[in-house]
Structure 1
């Protein structure tokens, strides 16, 4: 858990709160927060495919998450998706 720095949620009512039993703050997906991450662990089985296709891929294409190296999906199985180097 010490490597998990931040949690994202689009719901403004959850932002500013913390994940249960942790010091991990729930934040918005703004440019400043996205620039800091190198991996996203998705823990939303019902909406994982939709969020990955409509939000995560958009972060990657638009350059909002320049340090992102991987996304871990967990809905059906644990699956690591490596993000190709966009600088070279």
Structure 2
């Protein structure tokens, strides 16, 4: 990711990148959901890592979670890729 991270205080619409590979969600980072380049970079890298893990025989799923709305925005799993979640 070449885009510098914004300080947490300057994030207008936070979204958390969360990982589940052992039965529980873990927060890895917080990004600005209003920054399309940042969201695209994070999704690309997460998908690449998830696919490598799947190729090694593991299972890893990702989600982008909006804590303000308490809703999942997008979800990734091996074989399906990213899908937007509409609620």
- TM-score bucket of the superposed structures, by smaller chain: 0.3 to 0.5
TM-score when scaled to structure 2?
0.33
TM-score (norm 1): 0.32
